[in-house]
């Protein structure tokens, strides 16, 4: 189920999904590799979500195309990754 990002003070361009009870996923499905710059934005969004709902678990929902620096940053910040396989034509 989709969640309105504005409820957490985030841009409506950020896609959020409810993954379970008190578990929110930040959806980042792009054709290119997720680089550290993208991961920093995910961390900032996760901090914003946790600021509004402190007991909430936040995960990144993405494809397996993610750089090692991003993986390390997300791990340090306690953000889990949920991998999904997608067909990019579905994003259009």
> What pLDDT is attached to residue 1?
84
Residue of 90, 56, 66, 91 lying closest to 81 (CA atoms): 66
Q: Quote the domain boundaries for residue 25.
A: 2-91
Residue that is written with structure tokens 């578990």 in the block: 23
* Count of domains observed in the chain: 1
* Phi-psi map region of 39: left, alpha, beta (phi>0 left; psi -120 to 50 alpha): alpha
Ranges under pLDDT 70 in the chain = 86-92
Say which CATH number the domain at 76 has.
3.40.1350.10
Residue that is written with structure tokens 């710059």 in the block: 37
> What pLDDT is attached to residue 88?
52
Specify the pTM.
0.88
Residues facing residue 81 across a β-bridge? 60
Instruction: Compute the residue count for the chain.
Output: 92
């Amino acid at each position: 189920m989709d969640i309105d990002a504005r409820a957490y003070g985030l841009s409506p361009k950020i896609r959020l999904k409810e993954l379970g009870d008190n578990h929110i996923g930040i959806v980042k499905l792009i054709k290119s590799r997720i680089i550290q710059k993208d991961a920093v934005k995910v961390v900032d969004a996760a901090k914003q979500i946790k600021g509004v709902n402190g007991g909430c678990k936040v995960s990144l929902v993405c494809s397996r195309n993610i750089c090692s620096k991003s993986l390390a940053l997300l791990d340090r910040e306690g953000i889990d990754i949920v991998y999904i396989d997608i067909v990019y034509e579905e994003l259009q």
